[in-house]
Amino acid sequence: MTASASSIEGAAVLLFAPHVRFRFDERRKAWIVLAPERLLLPDEPRQVIASDVLPMLQDLVDKKVLRQ
């Protein structure tokens, strides 16, 4: 993971960066995140991914897909 200027806290509110879009894709029948040269498909089961959420969000902030 890349070093970041600030760490994400559990109560942080994150926003998608201006160049990133979150939309429902009719073809896939799923919500997707579109960023330059990236397509992310969020997982459904919250309990399974709960321990990975903060590190993943920190990684997306570091990559400038999300911002605080």
Helix and strand counts by DSSP (H, E) for the chain: 2, 5
pLDDT at 42 over 70: yes
In this structure, are residues 25 and 31 in contact, taking their beta carbons and an 8 Å threshold? yes
**Chain segment 15-35, per-residue pLDDT in tens:** 999 999 999 999 999 999 999
What pLDDT, on the 0 to 100 scale, is given for residue 29? 93
Query: 24 pairs with which residues across the strands?
Result: 31
Give pLDDT, residue 14: 85
What is the mean predicted confidence (pLDDT) over 2-11?
Answer: 66
Asked whether the predicted pLDDT for residue 1 surpasses 60, the reply is no
Q: Specify whether the backbone of 63 is left (phi greater than 0), alpha (psi in -120 to 50) or beta.
A: alpha
